[in-house]
Amino acid sequence: MGHKACPAVKPGMLNVHLVPHTHDDVGWLKTVDQYFYGAKNDIQRAGVQYILDSVVDELVKDPARRFIYVETAFFWRWYREQDEATKATVQTLVNEGRLEFIGGGWSMNDEACAHYNAVIDQMSLGMRTLYDNFGTCGIPRVAWQIDPFGHTKEQVNLFAQMGFDGLFFARIDYDDRKKRIEDRNMEFVWQASHDQGSDGNLFTGVLYKHYSPPPGHCYDVNCNDQPIMDDSRLKDYNVNDKVADFIEFSKNKSKAYRSSHIMMTMGDDFNYQAAHMWFKNLDKLIKYVNARQAEGETVNLLYSTPSCYLKALHDSGLTWPSYQDDFVPYASDPWAYWTGYFTSRAAQKGYIRKSNNVCKQLTALFQTEDMTSHPNRVDILRNAMAINQHHDAVTGTEKQPVADDYVMRLSEGTESCQQAVNDAFSLAGLPKQSFCNQLNTSSCDVTEGHDQFVVTVYNPLPRAVGHWVRVPVTGLSATVADGDGTVVESQLSPIPEEVLRLPGRTSTATYELVFRADDLPPLGFRSYFVSVSASIAVSQHMHKAPRQAPLSNGHVTLDLDPASGRLARIRTDSADVAVNQTFMWYHGYGSDKNDPWEPQHRPTGAYVFNPVADAIPIQPKDVVILEGPLVKEIRHSFAETWVSQVTRLYTGEPYAEIEWQVGPIPTEDGVAKEVISRFTSDISSNDLFYTDSNGRQMMERQRDRRSSWPLNVTEPVSGNYYPVNSRIYIRDAASQLTVLSDRSQGGASLASGQLELMLHRRTVQDDGFGVGEPLNETAYGAGLVVRGRHWVLLSDPAEGARLHRDLAQRVFMAPQLSFSVAEDTTVEEWLSGPAPKQFTGLNALPVNVHLLTLETYKTGQLLIRLEHQYEAGEDPELSQPVEVNLQDLFTTLDITAVEEYGLSADRPLMEINRFDWNYNTTASRQGGKQEAGQRDTTADLFMVTLNPMEIHTFVADFQTL
């Protein structure tokens, strides 16, 4: 569309841009399908199909009317079932700027709990769908995050790289809003990248109160405000009151903003099911307010869109303030810190993370899917993942049946993708593989039910890695042979008691076979032949060890307190600190007795974390130390049987692994419990700590402080919680203690030397923000049990980034196991058989480069994203720019042509042309990158230079070698 279709504004007046909109959650109180159809209206009167039907009818009636649509997951469902005539009408409305796509992601993703890889994927899915069907007129120009519960810097950087001109959102801290209104700082340029200079800038506007219409002016079928009654011969004529009220509200609001324009969001959740009501009243409102101009009134109402409003701001030529921090955590009042959702539904969060890399690279490498058929098998998971990034999905703030629906979609998507992966493996020459999706409970049919099987370990990373394979077995000894016939050292580790008694676990396995799959090739696999025997090989079994001696794996040494057996000290090659770690739990406000609550005693719930006091330690009980040749374990049990953990030192690794298990959290006593793992050290971190932003840029956090307003500390615990997508660390001049997580969690440092992560929570009361039920997950008749991992790193701070950048990718893109039965085969027959024992799809990339994306784009084309995974200054060597030759990437494919695209992969980078803004800045750190679109076209097109934190997106033509 461009901006040609933007309505004329009136100079010298306050132009009020009325933006008709609907906020359509891709699942919350109802499932995404129920919302689409308008099913279960007893839960919520909401049917998206009627909204789109009705809006299109109303837009056709009057070319002045405008409407924005945001959630592509819904739009696409609706559009594909329209007849050709309606589709043509919609095309016209889009081409003329009357129906405008805003946001444009498949869902409006959450920012605190969503990993950047998943954000990019879900935005790309939505934006590509729009571009492919509507061309340049379908490109959303404005990012629209009006409901997510806090806003992160990396999310905004990603939006900038996707070509957006601006961003609007509603939810910021109540005191921040107050100050921004006073200072007229509601609109500013967010400098969202430490490293990418103006390429990471995005104009950002905070909505005045929320995304609702002004009070008294909701004209929706779901609202109870009075319509405009404008026949003076009839009763209740109210035009004068309505007009005066709207003008007054507009003038008050404009005091918070700097230009002669304001934007008025005219709509709300699932509004416009009967669009006629809205538009008829808005037509009248515009008519009667603007009629006052003849009497000297200076307010001018117009139908508009966020991008037309943004253009008006840009045309104003004003110089804007700037901002470099972020907007987490979010508090809606002094006792409502929305920091519980960082951890809510910990199992679902883990499953979402795990589903990210089930299938993309291999299916692209082998071109298993017909890209002309939709959905293909990969699309099903892509769609499920995109829906799961919604701000009531990955957040865990949905009703239980909706959570079940999200998980079911991931499960269906995973199975479908695994079929596609099986085809890829088959094209590589492997027999049919089983994937054993229950390995998180140490269960697997193939390895438990058969004496001989082949384990294939696939590495999705672009460089060789080693991986510790753990597979459940029922035998008492085992032999592992690699593809050369060499016996690989292995050991048997007894499955912890707490895992054996997991509710619902039916496995008969009592041991896990552990071995190291070494040197797994980039984007490749190795297979191992395993024979299990019922006879005992004593050498393979782990032995109990005394608790006095330190445990070491060659790089990490753990000293234990001789009396309690608990961790007392961590020593590595470059640091040595006292550290203890324990489980604790917070007693949350609220009770199942339905006591009346006051604001300062708001119940802790799905959104809000509201502890009564500091955390209560869970006393340790037993410690058992098991030593084997490959791994040493400290098994801790506690006074409460619903927590346990195993600390592992794998030979030669730079980390200690803590596998935690929490649940069923008892709430029979009527007390909400929120369980944390707290590390206390003698590191002098004072009040500083560091958390990642969407798994990417690192953010410095200061306890009890915000960068842009004086913090009134009402909640010393939950007000200091931040989202941890992948890592949190503290440091002083000598030491850095980093904890990597395998899923999103809340984290904090509540005292110098301390850091904690919230693992799991169960509440007894609703917290009053709409979901209408306590966060009370159950399975098999008891509270849900969750099992996850932390990798604990201790180093000199100078080595911190080198360790956590690499290891975070190893957690995120962990090698994947698959299995085939080999019962009637000898190892010799397997070795001489046709199946490849290893495969390499990629020539290894430099260690500071990540292969973020490898997917089939369109038939015969690949989508490739390469990422520099270090920030400037993090590491003297690895933070340097790095070159990659795209023609050298693959072992089985030859790249023949390449074009650089914007981050969302919808259009070539050359087509992206963003607004420039005038702004004042105090930022000390500016990236040195040349502007987007300025790549030297005379240079070798296949050579890519990656500067710190850059992601380059390519669509490549290829030939199979």
The minimum distance between CB 269 and Zn ion, in angstroms, equals 7
The minimum distance between CB 153 and Zn ion, in angstroms, equals 21
Residues 469-488 that bind Zn ion (CB under 5 A): none
Location of structure tokens 């007000």 = 719
Identify whether the C-beta of residue 68 lies closer than 8 Å to the C-beta of residue 305. Answer: yes
In 3D, which of 889, 819, 840, 863 has the Cα closest to residue 369?
863
Q: Select the span of 17-25, 48-56, 320-328, 656-664 touching Zn ion (CB under 5 A).
A: 17-25
The minimum distance between CB 931 and Zn ion, in angstroms, equals 35
Token duo for residue 397: 């703030």
Q: Which is nearer to Zn ion, 147 or 165 (CB)?
A: 147
Q: Give the residue numbers marked as catalytic.
A: 147
Q: Which is nearer to Zn ion, 28 or 689 (CB)?
A: 28
Residue 84, Cβ neighbours under 10 Å: how many?
Answer: 7
CA distance 660 to 665: 14
The minimum distance between CB 147 and Zn ion, in angstroms, equals 3
Residues 548-607 that bind Zn ion (CB under 5 A): none
The conformation of residue 890, written as its DSSP 8-state character, comes to: B
Token duo for residue 454: 């082949």
Q: Select the span of 25-33, 159-167, 616-624, 660-668 touching Zn ion (CB under 5 A).
A: 25-33
The minimum distance between CB 148 and Zn ion, in angstroms, equals 8
The three-state secondary structure class of 243 is helix
Residue 165 binding Zn ion, by CB under 5 A: no
Distance of CA 785 to the CA centre of its chain: 22
Q: Which is nearer to Zn ion, 108 or 658 (CB)?
A: 108
Q: Which is nearer to Zn ion, 24 or 379 (CB)?
A: 24
Token duo for residue 276: 């006629």
Preceding amide of 876 cis, omega within 30? no
Residue 24 binding Zn ion, by CB under 5 A: no
Written as one string, the DSSP assignment of 687-736 is: TEEEEEETTTEEEEEETT--SSS----S-TTGGG-EEESSEEEEE-SS-E
User: Per-residue contact track with Zn ion, 679 to 718, x per CB under 5 A?
Assistant: ----------------------------------------
- Phi (first) and psi of residue 18, to 5 degrees: -85, 120
Q: Select the span of 146-154, 437-445, 793-801, 820-828 touching Zn ion (CB under 5 A).
A: 146-154
CA distance 227 to 141: 33
Identify whether the C-beta of residue 365 lies closer than 8 Å to the C-beta of residue 83. Answer: no
The minimum distance between CB 41 and Zn ion, in angstroms, equals 18
Q: Which is nearer to Zn ion, 147 or 369 (CB)?
A: 147
Q: Which is nearer to Zn ion, 111 or 195 (CB)?
A: 111
The minimum distance between CB 310 and Zn ion, in angstroms, equals 22
Q: Select the span of 24-32, 445-453, 883-891, 902-910 touching Zn ion (CB under 5 A).
A: 24-32
In 3D, which of 96, 97, 102 has the Cα closest to residue 140?
102
Element (H, E) at 21: strand 14-23
In 3D, which of 105, 140, 137, 146 has the Cα closest to residue 122?
105
Residues 491-510 that bind Zn ion (CB under 5 A): none
Residue 25 binding Zn ion, by CB under 5 A: yes
CA distance 509 to 448: 6
Location of structure tokens 């499960």 = 411
Identify whether the C-beta of residue 887 lies closer than 8 Å to the C-beta of residue 959. Answer: no
CA distance 850 to 948: 12
Location of structure tokens 């960068």 = 707
The minimum distance between CB 895 and Zn ion, in angstroms, equals 41
Q: Which is nearer to Zn ion, 25 or 767 (CB)?
A: 25
Q: Select the span of 130-138, 144-152, 480-488, 752-760 touching Zn ion (CB under 5 A).
A: 144-152
CA distance 840 to 834: 17
Q: Which is nearer to Zn ion, 31 or 259 (CB)?
A: 31
The minimum distance between CB 108 and Zn ion, in angstroms, equals 7
The minimum distance between CB 52 and Zn ion, in angstroms, equals 18
CA distance 144 to 782: 40
Please classify residue 666 by burial: count the beta carbons closer than 10 Å to its beta carbon, then call 0-12 exposed, 13-18 middle and 19+ buried: middle
Residue of this chain nearest to Zn ion (CB atom): 147
What are the C-alpha distances in Å from 515 to residues 445, 480, 487, 518? 19, 8, 11, 9
Identify whether the C-beta of residue 163 lies closer than 8 Å to the C-beta of residue 270. Answer: no
CA distance 816 to 117: 18
Written as one string, the DSSP assignment of 596-624 is: ---GGGPPP-SS---BSSSPEEPPEEEEE
Could you report how far apart the first and last alpha carbons of the chain are, in Å?
A: 42
Please tell me the count of residues contacting Zn ion according to CB under 5 A.
2
CA distance 280 to 301: 15
Q: Are strands 893-901 and 849-856 parallel, antiparallel or unpaired?
A: unpaired
- Phi (first) and psi of residue 144, to 5 degrees: -140, 95
Location of structure tokens 């703030």 = 397
Q: Which is nearer to Zn ion, 325 or 773 (CB)?
A: 773
In 3D, which of 918, 923, 706 has the Cα closest to residue 180?
706
Q: Select the span of 46-54, 140-148, 250-258, 689-697 touching Zn ion (CB under 5 A).
A: 140-148
Residues 51-80 that bind Zn ion (CB under 5 A): none
Q: Select the span of 20-28, 464-472, 518-526, 896-904 touching Zn ion (CB under 5 A).
A: 20-28
CA distance 956 to 946: 18
Q: Which is nearer to Zn ion, 25 or 121 (CB)?
A: 25
Q: Select the span of 142-150, 259-267, 692-700, 791-799 touching Zn ion (CB under 5 A).
A: 142-150
Residue 147 binding Zn ion, by CB under 5 A: yes
The minimum distance between CB 389 and Zn ion, in angstroms, equals 13
Q: Which is nearer to Zn ion, 147 or 875 (CB)?
A: 147
The minimum distance between CB 202 and Zn ion, in angstroms, equals 21
Residue type, 735: S
The minimum distance between CB 391 and Zn ion, in angstroms, equals 5
Q: Select the span of 21-29, 350-358, 698-706, 714-722 touching Zn ion (CB under 5 A).
A: 21-29
Q: Which is nearer to Zn ion, 22 or 443 (CB)?
A: 22
CA distance 265 to 664: 44
Q: Which is nearer to Zn ion, 147 or 950 (CB)?
A: 147
User: Per-residue contact track with Zn ion, 97 to 136, x per CB under 5 A?
Assistant: ----------------------------------------
DSSP E strands: which ranges in 833-925?
838-840, 849-856, 861-868, 882-885, 893-901, 918-919
Residues 933-952 that bind Zn ion (CB under 5 A): none
The binding site for Zn ion (CB under 5 A) comprises: 25, 147
